[in-house]
Amino acid sequence: MPARPPAAASHRSAPAAARRDGTPSAARGGPVSMTLSRVARLHRVAAGRFLRAAGLYPGQEFVMMHLWDHGPVRQSELIRVLDLDPSTVTKMLQRLEQGGHVRRAPDPADRRAVLVAATDAGCALHAQVAAAWTELEDHSLAALTPDERRELARLLGKVEGGLCKPAPLCPDPQGPGSPGAGPPPEPTAQPADAGAPGSPPADAGAAGPAADAR
């Protein structure tokens, strides 16, 4: 009986062990990126805790912030400003609408488009969200001195600027939390069919059940 040939050696080397600090071996070339991803995850979890009192989930507050500051807007504008998938924005609006925080209605200027507006109940959340955001800031940066906070903001601003250069990855500069957005007006409920001056072109099918992945 002929001898069996030796098994072929594997071309893949065994992966290196993770570092003692928990950094995966494949992430050793990007330690700062790994730290940013961990901080972003923890920050989102903390945001969920602080927003829970207002009955909101992380991400929903950005929809409300834009409506509070700009009044009724088309759903297509929210998709553009938030830089999210249309189906994701549709689901967020459905949940906010079910909670009584927003209302949607056809745009009188173009019945194919949908206007989104904050309700009285939604506007009543402004103070709670502002307090939650302040608490989140204090909690997240508790270990830093005022000078370190300013330096961190400066460095993160440079990182953000660098990420924005290669491709249009950044949200609208007038969106929620942007430096150029200016002081927000006092939030007041407005009818969703009141129209929005200077609105962008009509939604290209983003509004309505068809945009929902479910």
DSSP per residue over 11-40, as a string? SSPPPPPPPTTS--GGGTT-HHHHHHHHHH
List, for residues 111-164, the tens digit of each pLDDT value.
Answer: 889 999 999 999 999 999 999 999 999 999 999 999 999 999 999 999 998 888
The CA-based dihedral angle spanning residues 33, 35, 36, 39, taken in that order and rounded to the nearest 10 degrees = 160
List, for residues 60-113, the tens digit of each pLDDT value.
Answer: 999 999 999 999 999 999 999 998 999 999 999 999 999 999 999 999 988 889
What are the start-end ranges of the H helices in the chain?
31-51, 60-70, 75-82, 86-98, 120-123, 126-140, 146-164
- In angstroms, the CA 206 to CA 86 distance is 6
Walk me through the domains of the chain, giving residue ranges and CATH numbers: 36-166+187-194 (1.10.10.10)
* Other beta carbons less than 10 A from residue 155's beta carbon: 10
* Other beta carbons less than 10 A from residue 163's beta carbon: 11
The angle, 0 to 180 degrees and rounded to 10, between the axes of the packed helices 60-70 and 126-140 is: 130
pTM of the model: 0.68
